[in-house]
Amino acid sequence: MNKIVDLRSDTVTMPTEEMKNVSFEAILGDDVYSDDPTVNELEQYAAELLGKEDAVFVPSGTFGNQLAILTHTRPGNEVIVASNSHIIIDEVGAAAGIAGVQLRTFDLIDGNRLPFEQIDRLYREDDIHFPETALICLENAVSSGTVVPLEDMAKLKKWADSKGIPVHLDGARLFNAAAAMGVDARQIADQVDTLNVCLSKGLCAPIGSIVVGSKEFVDRARKNRKMLGGGMRQVGVIAAPALYALKKMVGRLQDDHKLAQYLADELSKIDGVTVNKDEVQINMVFFSVDLKNITEEQFVAGFAEQNIKINGSEDGKFRFVTHNDVDKEGVDRSLEVFKQLVSR
Q: Of 257, 266, 256, 303, whose CA–CA distance to 287 is shortest?
A: 266
Judged by CB, which is closer to ligand PLP: 134, or 242?
242
Let me know: does 238 contact 70? Beta carbons within 8 Å.
no
The maximal CA–CA distance of the chain, rounded, in angstroms, is 66
Kindly state the smallest distance separating residue 282's Cβ from ligand PLP, in Å.
11
Taking the complex as a whole, the smallest distance from the CB of residue 2 to ligand PLP amounts, in Å, to: 26
Q: What is the dihedral of CA 49, 55, 59, 64, to 10 degrees?
A: -100
> CB 192 → ligand PLP: shortest distance, Å?
14
Smallest gap from residue 35 Cβ to ligand PLP (A):
25
3-class secondary-structure state, position 149: coil
Give 133 or 146: the residue with its C-beta nearer to ligand PLP. 146
CA dist 112 → 5, 28, 90 (Å): 29, 42, 19
Return residues touching ligand PLP (CB under 6 A): 11, 60-62, 65, 86, 139, 143, 170, 172, 198, 209
Query: How many CA atoms are closer than 13 Å to the CA of 251, on its beta-carbon side?
Result: 3
Alpha carbons 105 and 250: distance in angstroms, whole number: 31
Please identify, using beta-carbon distances, which residue of 11 and 261 lies nearer to ligand PLP: 11
**Cβ distance to ligand PLP smaller for residue 12 or 28:** 12
Cβ proximity to ligand PLP: between 61 and 236 the closer is 61
Half-sphere exposure of 57 (CA within 13 A, CB side): 33
* Closer residue to ligand PLP, CB minimum distance, 320 or 338: 320
Residue 73 or 209: which CB sits closer to ligand PLP?
Answer: 209
Smallest distance, ligand PLP to C-beta of residue 250, A? 17
Of the candidates 163, 216, 224, 223, which has an alpha carbon nearest to the alpha carbon of residue 194?
Answer: 216
Q: How far is the CB of 86 from ligand PLP (least distance, A)?
A: 4
Q: What is the DSSP letter of 75?
A: T
Question: Which residue number has the CB closest to ligand PLP?
Answer: 61
Closest contact distance (angstroms) between CB of 91 and ligand PLP is: 7
Is the Cβ–Cβ distance between 147 and 282 less than 8 Å? yes
